Structure 1
Amino acid sequence: MKRIGIIALALFIQQVSAQTNRFVYQVTMKPDAENKADIKTENAYLDISQEKSVFYSENKMKRDSVLQKAFQGGAGRVNISRDLMEGLRSNINYSVEKDKANQKTTFKERIGRDVYSYEEDRPIAWKISSETQKIGEYKVQKAETDFAGRKWTAWFTTDLPYQDGPYKFGGLPGLIVKIEDDKGEYSFDLMKNYKIAEISSMNQFGKPLKVKRTDFVKQQKKFQTDPMSFMTQGSGGISAPMRIGGGRGPGGDGNQNPADMRKRMEERVKEEAKKNSNPIELQ
Protein backbone atom coordinates (compact mmCIF):
# COMPACT_ATOMS: atom_id res chain seq x y z
CA MET A 1 0.00 0.00 0.00
CA LYS A 2 2.87 2.34 0.83
CA ARG A 3 4.47 1.67 -2.60
CA ILE A 4 1.15 2.39 -4.34
CA GLY A 5 0.89 5.66 -2.44
CA ILE A 6 4.38 6.72 -3.52
CA ILE A 7 3.61 5.89 -7.16
CA ALA A 8 0.34 7.85 -7.00
CA LEU A 9 2.14 10.85 -5.49
CA ALA A 10 4.83 10.71 -8.19
CA LEU A 11 2.18 10.60 -10.93
CA PHE A 12 0.37 13.55 -9.36
CA ILE A 13 3.57 15.62 -9.20
CA GLN A 14 4.34 14.71 -12.82
CA GLN A 15 0.85 15.76 -13.91
CA VAL A 16 1.09 19.10 -12.08
CA SER A 17 4.54 19.86 -13.52
CA ALA A 18 3.28 19.05 -17.02
CA GLN A 19 0.55 21.68 -16.79
CA THR A 20 0.80 24.87 -18.81
CA ASN A 21 0.99 28.24 -17.11
CA ARG A 22 -0.86 31.13 -18.76
CA PHE A 23 0.35 34.66 -18.07
CA VAL A 24 -2.02 37.44 -19.14
CA TYR A 25 -0.39 40.70 -20.23
CA GLN A 26 -2.06 44.02 -20.88
CA VAL A 27 -0.53 45.37 -24.07
CA THR A 28 -0.67 49.14 -24.63
CA MET A 29 0.21 50.44 -28.11
CA LYS A 30 0.35 53.63 -30.16
CA PRO A 31 0.28 52.06 -33.64
CA ASP A 32 -0.56 55.22 -35.63
CA ALA A 33 2.59 57.32 -36.19
CA GLU A 34 0.49 60.41 -37.09
CA ASN A 35 -1.88 60.10 -34.14
CA LYS A 36 -0.06 59.21 -30.93
CA ALA A 37 -3.19 60.09 -28.97
CA ASP A 38 -4.83 56.97 -30.41
CA ILE A 39 -3.89 54.43 -27.75
CA LYS A 40 -4.86 50.79 -28.21
CA THR A 41 -5.06 48.38 -25.29
CA GLU A 42 -5.78 44.66 -25.33
CA ASN A 43 -4.85 41.46 -23.57
CA ALA A 44 -2.40 38.87 -24.80
CA TYR A 45 -1.47 35.43 -23.49
CA LEU A 46 1.95 33.97 -22.79
CA ASP A 47 1.40 30.23 -22.42
CA ILE A 48 4.43 28.40 -21.02
CA SER A 49 4.83 24.62 -20.98
CA GLN A 50 7.85 22.42 -20.32
CA GLU A 51 8.77 22.36 -24.03
CA LYS A 52 7.87 25.82 -25.32
CA SER A 53 6.00 29.08 -24.88
CA VAL A 54 3.59 30.91 -27.21
CA PHE A 55 2.62 34.58 -27.10
CA TYR A 56 -0.58 35.65 -28.91
CA SER A 57 -3.58 37.94 -28.77
CA GLU A 58 -6.67 36.98 -26.79
CA ASN A 59 -8.94 38.65 -29.37
CA LYS A 60 -7.19 37.05 -32.32
CA MET A 61 -7.58 33.62 -30.77
CA LYS A 62 -11.32 34.25 -30.29
CA ARG A 63 -11.70 35.73 -33.80
CA ASP A 64 -9.92 32.80 -35.44
CA SER A 65 -12.06 30.39 -33.43
CA VAL A 66 -15.25 32.06 -34.71
CA LEU A 67 -14.02 31.85 -38.32
CA GLN A 68 -12.89 28.25 -37.90
CA LYS A 69 -16.27 27.13 -36.54
CA ALA A 70 -18.12 29.08 -39.24
CA PHE A 71 -16.20 27.46 -42.09
CA GLN A 72 -16.44 24.01 -40.53
CA GLY A 73 -20.18 24.45 -40.30
CA GLY A 74 -20.70 23.82 -44.01
CA ALA A 75 -19.78 24.83 -47.53
CA GLY A 76 -21.13 27.85 -49.36
CA ARG A 77 -21.50 31.42 -48.22
CA VAL A 78 -20.74 32.04 -44.57
CA ASN A 79 -22.54 34.76 -42.64
CA ILE A 80 -20.76 36.16 -39.57
CA SER A 81 -21.99 39.00 -37.40
CA ARG A 82 -20.17 42.23 -38.23
CA ASP A 83 -20.56 43.48 -34.64
CA LEU A 84 -19.03 40.26 -33.32
CA MET A 85 -15.99 40.49 -35.58
CA GLU A 86 -15.53 44.21 -34.95
CA GLY A 87 -15.54 43.51 -31.21
CA LEU A 88 -12.71 41.02 -31.68
CA ARG A 89 -10.42 43.27 -33.72
CA SER A 90 -6.77 43.04 -32.66
CA ASN A 91 -3.60 45.03 -33.21
CA ILE A 92 -1.61 41.92 -32.27
CA ASN A 93 -1.95 39.94 -35.48
CA TYR A 94 1.07 37.76 -34.85
CA SER A 95 2.20 34.94 -32.60
CA VAL A 96 5.65 34.25 -31.16
CA GLU A 97 6.75 30.73 -30.25
CA LYS A 98 9.91 30.01 -28.25
CA ASP A 99 11.29 26.46 -28.34
CA LYS A 100 13.14 25.71 -25.11
CA ALA A 101 15.14 22.75 -26.43
CA ASN A 102 16.83 24.49 -29.37
CA GLN A 103 16.50 28.08 -28.09
CA LYS A 104 14.73 29.19 -31.27
CA THR A 105 12.15 31.95 -31.52
CA THR A 106 9.63 31.70 -34.37
CA PHE A 107 7.45 34.64 -35.44
CA LYS A 108 4.22 34.11 -37.42
CA GLU A 109 1.96 36.68 -39.03
CA ARG A 110 -0.52 36.87 -41.88
CA ILE A 111 0.17 39.13 -44.85
CA GLY A 112 -2.84 39.24 -47.15
CA ARG A 113 -4.02 35.66 -47.66
CA ASP A 114 -0.87 33.86 -46.50
CA VAL A 115 0.67 33.20 -43.10
CA TYR A 116 4.43 33.73 -43.01
CA SER A 117 6.85 32.46 -40.40
CA TYR A 118 10.49 33.17 -39.76
CA GLU A 119 13.11 32.32 -37.18
CA GLU A 120 14.35 35.36 -35.25
CA ASP A 121 18.04 35.83 -36.06
CA ARG A 122 18.86 38.72 -33.69
CA PRO A 123 19.88 37.74 -30.14
CA ILE A 124 18.70 40.03 -27.35
CA ALA A 125 21.60 41.37 -25.27
CA TRP A 126 20.51 42.49 -21.81
CA LYS A 127 22.21 44.91 -19.43
CA ILE A 128 21.04 43.90 -15.95
CA SER A 129 20.92 46.62 -13.30
CA SER A 130 21.07 46.23 -9.52
CA GLU A 131 17.96 48.45 -9.24
CA THR A 132 14.91 46.72 -7.76
CA GLN A 133 11.34 47.62 -6.87
CA LYS A 134 7.97 46.02 -6.19
CA ILE A 135 5.37 45.58 -8.93
CA GLY A 136 2.19 44.08 -7.57
CA GLU A 137 3.14 41.05 -5.50
CA TYR A 138 6.53 40.57 -7.16
CA LYS A 139 9.95 41.90 -6.30
CA VAL A 140 11.43 42.86 -9.67
CA GLN A 141 14.84 43.82 -11.03
CA LYS A 142 15.66 46.18 -13.88
CA ALA A 143 17.21 45.22 -17.22
CA GLU A 144 17.68 47.17 -20.45
CA THR A 145 18.23 46.31 -24.09
CA ASP A 146 18.21 47.77 -27.60
CA PHE A 147 16.14 45.65 -29.96
CA ALA A 148 14.70 46.25 -33.44
CA GLY A 149 15.13 50.01 -33.32
CA ARG A 150 13.75 50.64 -29.84
CA LYS A 151 15.31 50.97 -26.38
CA TRP A 152 13.51 48.76 -23.87
CA THR A 153 13.41 48.70 -20.07
CA ALA A 154 12.26 45.45 -18.49
CA TRP A 155 11.45 44.46 -14.93
CA PHE A 156 11.79 40.75 -14.20
CA THR A 157 11.18 38.59 -11.14
CA THR A 158 13.00 35.51 -9.93
CA ASP A 159 9.89 34.65 -7.90
CA LEU A 160 8.63 32.89 -11.03
CA PRO A 161 10.94 30.19 -12.47
CA TYR A 162 10.63 31.15 -16.14
CA GLN A 163 13.32 32.87 -18.24
CA ASP A 164 10.65 34.20 -20.56
CA GLY A 165 8.49 37.19 -21.34
CA PRO A 166 6.00 38.73 -23.77
CA TYR A 167 6.65 39.10 -27.50
CA LYS A 168 10.20 38.00 -28.43
CA PHE A 169 11.64 39.01 -25.07
CA GLY A 170 13.21 36.47 -22.73
CA GLY A 171 16.55 35.15 -21.54
CA LEU A 172 16.61 37.00 -18.21
CA PRO A 173 17.02 35.15 -14.87
CA GLY A 174 13.25 35.33 -14.32
CA LEU A 175 9.90 36.17 -15.89
CA ILE A 176 9.41 39.66 -17.31
CA VAL A 177 6.63 41.37 -15.33
CA LYS A 178 6.78 44.67 -17.23
CA ILE A 179 8.61 45.94 -20.31
CA GLU A 180 8.26 49.31 -22.07
CA ASP A 181 10.12 51.22 -24.77
CA ASP A 182 11.68 54.57 -23.94
CA LYS A 183 9.14 56.49 -26.05
CA GLY A 184 6.21 55.00 -24.16
CA GLU A 185 4.68 53.71 -27.39
CA TYR A 186 4.62 50.01 -26.50
CA SER A 187 4.33 48.36 -23.09
CA PHE A 188 3.53 44.92 -21.73
CA ASP A 189 2.26 44.58 -18.14
CA LEU A 190 1.62 41.28 -16.39
CA MET A 191 -1.93 41.27 -15.00
CA LYS A 192 -2.52 37.72 -13.76
CA ASN A 193 -1.61 34.08 -14.27
CA TYR A 194 -3.27 30.70 -13.93
CA LYS A 195 -2.85 27.10 -15.04
CA ILE A 196 -4.43 25.61 -18.17
CA ALA A 197 -4.45 22.06 -19.53
CA GLU A 198 -2.31 22.77 -22.59
CA ILE A 199 -1.20 25.45 -25.02
CA SER A 200 -4.03 26.39 -27.38
CA SER A 201 -3.58 25.38 -31.00
CA MET A 202 -3.42 28.35 -33.37
CA ASN A 203 -5.85 28.39 -36.32
CA GLN A 204 -3.62 29.49 -39.19
CA PHE A 205 -6.03 28.73 -42.11
CA GLY A 206 -3.19 27.40 -44.20
CA LYS A 207 0.34 26.10 -43.80
CA PRO A 208 2.76 28.91 -42.89
CA LEU A 209 5.28 29.92 -45.55
CA LYS A 210 8.74 29.73 -43.99
CA VAL A 211 10.97 32.63 -45.03
CA LYS A 212 13.97 34.56 -43.77
CA ARG A 213 13.23 37.55 -41.56
CA THR A 214 14.59 39.97 -44.17
CA ASP A 215 12.26 38.50 -46.81
CA PHE A 216 9.30 38.83 -44.44
CA VAL A 217 10.10 42.53 -43.97
CA LYS A 218 10.20 42.98 -47.76
CA GLN A 219 6.79 41.34 -48.08
CA GLN A 220 5.39 43.61 -45.39
CA LYS A 221 6.58 46.72 -47.23
CA LYS A 222 5.22 45.43 -50.52
CA PHE A 223 1.84 44.77 -48.90
CA GLN A 224 1.67 48.38 -47.68
CA THR A 225 2.17 49.73 -51.23
CA ASP A 226 0.22 47.10 -53.19
CA PRO A 227 -2.14 45.26 -50.82
CA MET A 228 -4.46 43.90 -53.50
CA SER A 229 -1.72 41.80 -55.07
CA PHE A 230 -1.72 39.81 -51.82
CA MET A 231 -5.50 39.46 -51.70
CA THR A 232 -5.89 38.04 -55.20
CA GLN A 233 -3.01 35.58 -55.00
CA GLY A 234 -1.69 33.23 -52.34
CA SER A 235 -1.56 29.63 -51.32
CA GLY A 236 -2.70 29.98 -47.74
CA GLY A 237 -5.88 31.98 -48.06
CA ILE A 238 -9.44 30.98 -47.26
CA SER A 239 -11.07 30.04 -50.53
CA ALA A 240 -14.65 29.88 -49.33
CA PRO A 241 -16.74 33.02 -49.90
CA MET A 242 -17.52 34.92 -46.76
CA ARG A 243 -19.94 37.69 -45.92
CA ILE A 244 -19.62 39.59 -42.66
CA GLY A 245 -22.84 41.22 -41.63
CA GLY A 246 -25.84 40.18 -43.67
CA GLY A 247 -28.82 41.75 -45.35
CA ARG A 248 -28.87 43.83 -48.52
CA GLY A 249 -27.14 46.96 -47.28
CA PRO A 250 -23.64 48.11 -48.23
CA GLY A 251 -21.21 45.24 -47.81
CA GLY A 252 -24.03 42.75 -47.45
CA ASP A 253 -25.12 42.28 -51.09
CA GLY A 254 -23.59 39.26 -52.76
CA ASN A 255 -24.24 40.71 -56.25
CA GLN A 256 -21.99 43.75 -56.07
CA ASN A 257 -19.83 44.86 -58.96
CA PRO A 258 -16.43 43.08 -58.56
CA ALA A 259 -14.54 46.24 -59.53
CA ASP A 260 -16.35 48.26 -56.84
CA MET A 261 -15.73 45.54 -54.26
CA ARG A 262 -12.03 45.46 -55.15
CA LYS A 263 -11.75 49.24 -54.86
CA ARG A 264 -13.46 49.33 -51.47
CA MET A 265 -11.31 46.48 -50.21
CA GLU A 266 -8.14 48.21 -51.39
CA GLU A 267 -9.15 51.47 -49.69
CA ARG A 268 -9.92 49.60 -46.48
CA VAL A 269 -6.60 47.72 -46.48
CA LYS A 270 -4.62 50.90 -47.17
CA GLU A 271 -6.45 52.71 -44.37
CA GLU A 272 -5.61 49.86 -42.00
CA ALA A 273 -1.94 50.06 -43.06
CA LYS A 274 -1.96 53.80 -42.33
CA LYS A 275 -3.35 53.19 -38.84
CA ASN A 276 -0.49 50.74 -38.21
CA SER A 277 2.34 52.99 -39.38
CA ASN A 278 4.21 52.84 -36.04
CA PRO A 279 5.10 49.14 -35.66
CA ILE A 280 6.73 47.61 -32.61
CA GLU A 281 9.85 46.93 -34.67
CA LEU A 282 11.37 49.97 -36.39
CA GLN A 283 14.37 48.14 -37.86
Structure 2
Amino acid sequence: MKIKLSLLLLMMTALYFAQSNQFIYEYTFKIDSLNRDKSDTENMVLQTTPKGSKFYSQVKAVYDSTMTAAFKDARTTQKVHFDFTSLKQAKVNTEVIKTYPDYKRTLKKEISSNDLLINNDKKLDWKISNEKSKVLGYDVQKATTTLYGRKWNVWFAPEIPIQDGPHEFCGLPGLIVKAEDAKGDHSFTLIGTRKIEVSPDEILNKKAREIVINEEKFRKLWSDYKKDPAKNLRQTSGSTSISAPVSVSASITFDGKTYSQDEMLKLIEKERKEELQKNNNFLELDLYR
Protein backbone atom coordinates (compact mmCIF):
# COMPACT_ATOMS: atom_id res chain seq x y z
CA MET A 1 0.00 0.00 0.00
CA LYS A 2 2.84 2.37 0.88
CA ILE A 3 4.50 1.60 -2.46
CA LYS A 4 1.28 2.39 -4.36
CA LEU A 5 0.87 5.67 -2.48
CA SER A 6 4.48 6.59 -3.21
CA LEU A 7 4.01 5.86 -6.91
CA LEU A 8 0.81 7.91 -6.97
CA LEU A 9 2.56 10.82 -5.28
CA LEU A 10 5.41 10.56 -7.77
CA MET A 11 2.98 10.61 -10.71
CA MET A 12 1.13 13.62 -9.31
CA THR A 13 4.42 15.46 -8.81
CA ALA A 14 5.47 14.68 -12.39
CA LEU A 15 2.20 16.13 -13.66
CA TYR A 16 2.55 19.26 -11.55
CA PHE A 17 6.21 19.90 -12.35
CA ALA A 18 6.92 19.64 -16.08
CA GLN A 19 10.18 19.87 -17.96
CA SER A 20 10.74 23.46 -18.99
CA ASN A 21 13.15 24.92 -21.50
CA GLN A 22 14.78 28.22 -20.64
CA PHE A 23 16.10 30.18 -23.60
CA ILE A 24 18.30 33.09 -22.55
CA TYR A 25 18.36 36.15 -24.82
CA GLU A 26 20.52 39.23 -24.69
CA TYR A 27 18.24 42.21 -25.14
CA THR A 28 19.99 45.32 -26.47
CA PHE A 29 17.99 48.53 -26.58
CA LYS A 30 18.31 52.27 -27.12
CA ILE A 31 15.69 53.81 -24.88
CA ASP A 32 16.51 57.44 -25.74
CA SER A 33 15.78 58.23 -29.39
CA LEU A 34 17.81 61.45 -29.10
CA ASN A 35 20.91 59.56 -27.95
CA ARG A 36 21.21 56.51 -30.20
CA ASP A 37 24.92 56.18 -29.44
CA LYS A 38 24.00 54.87 -25.99
CA SER A 39 22.53 51.39 -25.58
CA ASP A 40 21.66 49.17 -22.63
CA THR A 41 21.50 45.41 -22.28
CA GLU A 42 19.56 42.99 -20.11
CA ASN A 43 19.39 39.20 -20.14
CA MET A 44 15.86 37.99 -20.77
CA VAL A 45 14.41 34.50 -20.29
CA LEU A 46 11.89 32.70 -22.48
CA GLN A 47 10.61 29.89 -20.28
CA THR A 48 8.54 27.34 -22.17
CA THR A 49 6.25 24.67 -20.70
CA PRO A 50 3.75 22.24 -22.27
CA LYS A 51 0.97 24.78 -21.59
CA GLY A 52 2.67 28.00 -22.64
CA SER A 53 5.58 30.34 -22.05
CA LYS A 54 6.71 33.36 -20.08
CA PHE A 55 9.23 35.96 -21.21
CA TYR A 56 10.81 38.06 -18.48
CA SER A 57 13.94 39.81 -17.24
CA GLN A 58 16.39 37.53 -15.46
CA VAL A 59 17.42 40.42 -13.20
CA LYS A 60 13.81 41.32 -12.37
CA ALA A 61 13.04 37.75 -11.33
CA VAL A 62 15.84 37.85 -8.74
CA TYR A 63 14.88 41.36 -7.61
CA ASP A 64 11.19 40.51 -7.17
CA SER A 65 11.81 37.29 -5.25
CA THR A 66 14.29 39.03 -2.92
CA MET A 67 11.95 41.94 -2.22
CA THR A 68 8.97 39.64 -1.65
CA ALA A 69 10.92 37.50 0.81
CA ALA A 70 12.22 40.56 2.66
CA PHE A 71 8.83 42.17 3.19
CA LYS A 72 7.19 38.85 4.02
CA ASP A 73 9.78 38.38 6.75
CA ALA A 74 9.14 41.94 7.95
CA ARG A 75 5.48 41.19 8.60
CA THR A 76 6.41 38.52 11.13
CA THR A 77 9.53 40.10 12.64
CA GLN A 78 8.32 43.74 12.60
CA LYS A 79 11.55 44.67 10.86
CA VAL A 80 11.65 48.33 9.82
CA HIS A 81 15.06 48.59 8.13
CA PHE A 82 15.96 46.99 4.82
CA ASP A 83 19.39 46.92 3.19
CA PHE A 84 19.20 46.40 -0.57
CA THR A 85 22.64 47.82 -1.38
CA SER A 86 23.80 44.73 -3.25
CA LEU A 87 20.48 44.12 -5.03
CA LYS A 88 20.66 44.83 -8.75
CA GLN A 89 17.62 46.57 -10.21
CA ALA A 90 16.16 45.53 -13.54
CA LYS A 91 16.16 47.84 -16.53
CA VAL A 92 13.24 45.95 -18.09
CA ASN A 93 9.91 45.36 -16.33
CA THR A 94 7.97 44.06 -19.32
CA GLU A 95 6.80 40.44 -19.32
CA VAL A 96 4.93 38.41 -21.93
CA ILE A 97 2.78 35.33 -21.35
CA LYS A 98 1.77 33.06 -24.24
CA THR A 99 -0.63 30.12 -24.06
CA TYR A 100 -0.27 26.98 -26.19
CA PRO A 101 -1.47 25.85 -28.67
CA ASP A 102 -3.45 28.99 -29.60
CA TYR A 103 -0.49 31.33 -28.93
CA LYS A 104 -2.66 34.00 -27.38
CA ARG A 105 -0.41 36.66 -25.91
CA THR A 106 -0.60 38.77 -22.76
CA LEU A 107 1.69 41.75 -22.39
CA LYS A 108 2.45 42.73 -18.80
CA LYS A 109 3.53 46.33 -18.21
CA GLU A 110 4.04 48.41 -15.08
CA ILE A 111 2.86 51.96 -14.52
CA SER A 112 3.57 53.42 -11.10
CA SER A 113 3.84 49.99 -9.43
CA ASN A 114 0.57 48.81 -10.98
CA ASP A 115 0.81 45.51 -12.87
CA LEU A 116 -1.23 45.84 -16.07
CA LEU A 117 -2.15 43.06 -18.49
CA ILE A 118 -2.99 43.66 -22.15
CA ASN A 119 -4.39 40.62 -23.95
CA ASN A 120 -3.72 40.11 -27.65
CA ASP A 121 -5.04 37.18 -29.70
CA LYS A 122 -4.24 38.65 -33.12
CA LYS A 123 -1.82 36.52 -35.10
CA LEU A 124 1.34 38.18 -36.32
CA ASP A 125 1.49 38.70 -40.07
CA TRP A 126 4.71 36.93 -41.05
CA LYS A 127 6.49 37.12 -44.39
CA ILE A 128 9.05 34.31 -44.63
CA SER A 129 12.10 34.99 -46.79
CA ASN A 130 14.37 32.52 -48.58
CA GLU A 131 17.37 34.20 -46.94
CA LYS A 132 19.29 31.87 -44.62
CA SER A 133 22.17 32.22 -42.15
CA LYS A 134 23.60 30.81 -38.92
CA VAL A 135 23.00 32.03 -35.35
CA LEU A 136 24.61 30.35 -32.33
CA GLY A 137 25.44 27.38 -34.56
CA TYR A 138 21.85 26.93 -35.74
CA ASP A 139 20.75 27.07 -39.38
CA VAL A 140 18.23 29.90 -39.46
CA GLN A 141 15.82 31.50 -41.90
CA LYS A 142 14.69 35.11 -42.10
CA ALA A 143 11.15 36.41 -41.61
CA THR A 144 9.67 39.88 -41.21
CA THR A 145 6.65 41.33 -39.41
CA THR A 146 5.32 44.49 -37.76
CA LEU A 147 4.66 44.77 -34.02
CA TYR A 148 3.43 47.88 -32.18
CA GLY A 149 4.37 50.12 -35.09
CA ARG A 150 7.88 48.73 -35.53
CA LYS A 151 9.12 46.68 -38.47
CA TRP A 152 11.08 43.62 -37.39
CA ASN A 153 13.55 41.24 -39.00
CA VAL A 154 13.79 37.90 -37.23
CA TRP A 155 15.67 34.65 -37.70
CA PHE A 156 14.11 31.32 -36.74
CA ALA A 157 15.64 27.85 -36.40
CA PRO A 158 13.49 25.07 -37.92
CA GLU A 159 15.61 22.47 -36.09
CA ILE A 160 14.20 23.75 -32.76
CA PRO A 161 10.49 22.80 -33.12
CA ILE A 162 9.10 25.47 -30.81
CA GLN A 163 6.91 28.12 -32.44
CA ASP A 164 7.89 30.76 -29.92
CA GLY A 165 10.43 33.50 -29.41
CA PRO A 166 11.35 36.62 -27.44
CA HIS A 167 8.74 39.18 -26.40
CA GLU A 168 5.46 38.61 -28.31
CA PHE A 169 7.08 36.96 -31.32
CA CYS A 170 5.69 33.52 -32.14
CA GLY A 171 4.01 31.50 -34.87
CA LEU A 172 6.97 30.58 -37.07
CA PRO A 173 8.02 26.96 -37.83
CA GLY A 174 10.92 27.04 -35.38
CA LEU A 175 12.25 28.96 -32.40
CA ILE A 176 13.06 32.62 -33.09
CA VAL A 177 16.71 32.97 -32.10
CA LYS A 178 17.26 36.56 -33.20
CA ALA A 179 15.03 39.60 -33.69
CA GLU A 180 15.92 43.19 -34.53
CA ASP A 181 13.77 46.17 -35.43
CA ALA A 182 14.45 47.95 -38.72
CA LYS A 183 16.06 50.97 -37.04
CA GLY A 184 18.41 48.88 -34.91
CA ASP A 185 17.01 50.29 -31.66
CA HIS A 186 15.86 46.99 -30.15
CA SER A 187 17.27 43.49 -30.64
CA PHE A 188 17.12 40.05 -29.04
CA THR A 189 19.81 37.41 -29.58
CA LEU A 190 19.77 33.89 -28.15
CA ILE A 191 22.89 33.32 -26.02
CA GLY A 192 22.12 30.12 -24.11
CA THR A 193 19.65 27.40 -23.13
CA ARG A 194 18.96 25.10 -20.18
CA LYS A 195 16.27 22.77 -18.81
CA ILE A 196 14.58 23.04 -15.40
CA GLU A 197 11.58 21.55 -13.60
CA VAL A 198 8.75 24.03 -13.12
CA SER A 199 4.99 24.19 -12.57
CA PRO A 200 3.28 25.50 -15.74
CA ASP A 201 0.41 26.93 -13.68
CA GLU A 202 2.82 28.90 -11.52
CA ILE A 203 4.23 30.56 -14.63
CA LEU A 204 1.04 31.16 -16.57
CA ASN A 205 -1.61 31.97 -13.96
CA LYS A 206 -2.73 35.56 -13.46
CA LYS A 207 -1.70 37.05 -10.11
CA ALA A 208 -4.29 38.63 -7.80
CA ARG A 209 -2.94 42.18 -8.08
CA GLU A 210 -2.72 42.20 -11.88
CA ILE A 211 -5.29 44.29 -13.75
CA VAL A 212 -6.53 43.44 -17.25
CA ILE A 213 -6.96 46.51 -19.48
CA ASN A 214 -7.05 47.34 -23.18
CA GLU A 215 -4.59 49.44 -25.17
CA GLU A 216 -6.76 52.57 -24.99
CA LYS A 217 -6.92 52.37 -21.19
CA PHE A 218 -3.15 51.85 -21.05
CA ARG A 219 -2.55 55.04 -23.03
CA LYS A 220 -4.82 56.97 -20.65
CA LEU A 221 -2.99 55.63 -17.59
CA TRP A 222 0.37 56.44 -19.17
CA SER A 223 -0.76 59.99 -19.93
CA ASP A 224 -1.87 60.47 -16.31
CA TYR A 225 1.38 58.98 -15.02
CA LYS A 226 3.49 61.43 -17.00
CA LYS A 227 1.63 64.33 -15.36
CA ASP A 228 2.29 63.06 -11.81
CA PRO A 229 4.64 60.05 -11.63
CA ALA A 230 4.58 59.83 -7.82
CA LYS A 231 0.82 60.08 -7.26
CA ASN A 232 0.33 56.36 -6.70
CA LEU A 233 3.19 56.16 -4.21
CA ARG A 234 1.83 59.03 -2.15
CA GLN A 235 -1.59 57.41 -2.02
CA THR A 236 -0.12 54.05 -1.06
CA SER A 237 1.94 55.55 1.75
CA GLY A 238 -1.12 57.29 3.14
CA SER A 239 0.14 60.82 2.52
CA THR A 240 -1.32 63.56 0.38
CA SER A 241 1.99 65.13 -0.60
CA ILE A 242 5.60 64.13 -0.82
CA SER A 243 6.45 66.10 2.29
CA ALA A 244 3.55 64.84 4.37
CA PRO A 245 4.21 62.32 7.16
CA VAL A 246 3.76 58.70 6.16
CA SER A 247 1.76 56.13 8.06
CA VAL A 248 4.63 53.69 8.59
CA SER A 249 8.08 54.45 9.96
CA ALA A 250 10.66 52.50 8.00
CA SER A 251 14.07 52.92 6.44
CA ILE A 252 15.70 51.42 3.38
CA THR A 253 19.35 51.29 2.36
CA PHE A 254 20.33 51.58 -1.30
CA ASP A 255 23.88 52.07 -2.59
CA GLY A 256 25.20 52.35 0.95
CA LYS A 257 22.89 55.23 1.92
CA THR A 258 19.94 54.92 4.29
CA TYR A 259 16.68 56.70 3.49
CA SER A 260 13.56 57.24 5.54
CA GLN A 261 10.31 56.32 3.82
CA ASP A 262 9.58 59.98 3.14
CA GLU A 263 13.05 60.47 1.65
CA MET A 264 12.54 57.41 -0.53
CA LEU A 265 9.33 58.92 -1.92
CA LYS A 266 11.17 62.10 -2.86
CA LEU A 267 14.01 60.14 -4.42
CA ILE A 268 11.67 57.93 -6.45
CA GLU A 269 9.70 60.93 -7.71
CA LYS A 270 12.94 62.61 -8.83
CA GLU A 271 14.16 59.46 -10.59
CA ARG A 272 10.84 58.89 -12.34
CA LYS A 273 10.74 62.43 -13.68
CA GLU A 274 14.29 62.03 -15.00
CA GLU A 275 13.39 58.71 -16.62
CA LEU A 276 10.40 60.23 -18.38
CA GLN A 277 12.66 62.79 -20.04
CA LYS A 278 14.97 60.21 -21.61
CA ASN A 279 12.78 57.09 -21.95
CA ASN A 280 11.01 57.84 -25.22
CA ASN A 281 11.89 54.94 -27.50
CA PHE A 282 9.84 52.06 -26.11
CA LEU A 283 9.74 48.74 -27.91
CA GLU A 284 5.92 48.85 -27.91
CA LEU A 285 5.96 52.21 -29.69
CA ASP A 286 2.23 52.42 -30.49
CA LEU A 287 1.24 51.93 -26.84
CA TYR A 288 2.94 55.16 -25.80
CA ARG A 289 1.62 57.44 -28.52
TM-score greater than 0.5 by the shorter chain: yes
Q: How far did 1:78 drift?
A: 4.5
Q: Name segments (4+ residues, structure 1) moved above 6 Å.
A: 202-205
Partner of 1:25: 25
Partner of 1:281: 284
Higher deviation after alignment, 96-105 or 70-79: 70-79
Partner of 2:152: 152
Look up the SS of the partner of 2:221 in the other structure.
helix
Q: How far did 1:243 drift?
A: 3.4
Look up the SS of the partner of 1:163 in the other structure.
coil
- The one of 252, 257, 269 equivalent to 2:258 is 252
Separation (CA, whole Å) in 2 of partners of 1:73 and 1:163? 41
| Alignment-mate amino acid for residue 83 of structure 1 | T
Partner of 1:268: 271
Separation (CA, whole Å) in 1 of partners of 2:278 and 2:251? 24
| Alignment-mate amino acid for residue 219 of structure 1 | L
Paired residues, what number? Answer: 260
Task: Spell out the pairing of 1:102-251 with structure 2 (5 A cutoff).
Answer: 102-120=102-120, 122-198=122-198, 201=202, 207-233=209-235, 243-245=251-253
Look up the SS of the partner of 2:219 in the other structure.
helix
Contact 1:77 1:240 in 2 (8 A): no
Look up the SS of the partner of 2:74 in the other structure.
coil
| Alignment-mate amino acid for residue 276 of structure 1 | N
Partner of 1:69: 69
Partner of 2:50: 50
Q: How far did 1:103 drift?
A: 2.9
Partner of 1:96: 96
| Alignment-mate amino acid for residue 230 of structure 2 | M
- Measured against aligned partners, the alpha-carbon deviations of 1:254-283 in whole angstroms (never above 9, x if no partner) come to 3x8x5x765443222111222322100211
Contact 2:85 2:254 in 1 (8 A): no
| Alignment-mate amino acid for residue 252 of structure 1 | T
Separation (CA, whole Å) in 1 of partners of 2:39 and 2:182? 16
Gapped runs of 5+ residues in structure 2?
1-10, 237-246
Gapped runs of 5+ residues in structure 1?
1-10
Separation (CA, whole Å) in 1 of partners of 2:249 and 2:36? 36
Separation (CA, whole Å) in 2 of partners of 1:274 and 1:176? 33
Q: How far did 1:206 drift?
A: 5.4
| Alignment-mate amino acid for residue 57 of structure 1 | S
Higher deviation after alignment, 21-30 or 218-227: 218-227
Partner of 2:5: none
Instruction: Flag the 1:93–1:243 CA change in 2: closer, same or farther, 3 A.
Output: farther
Look up the SS of the partner of 1:227 in the other structure.
coil
| Alignment-mate amino acid for residue 49 of structure 1 | T
| Alignment-mate amino acid for residue 113 of structure 2 | R
Q: How far did 1:241 drift?
A: 6.5
Contact 2:103 2:121 in 1 (8 A): no
Normalised by the length of structure 1, the TM-score is 0.82
Contact 2:20 2:197 in 1 (8 A): yes
Q: CA RMSD in A?
A: 3.0
Q: Percent identity?
A: 36
Partner of 1:83: 85
Partner of 1:7: none
Look up the SS of the partner of 1:83 in the other structure.
coil
Q: How far did 1:38 drift?
A: 2.1
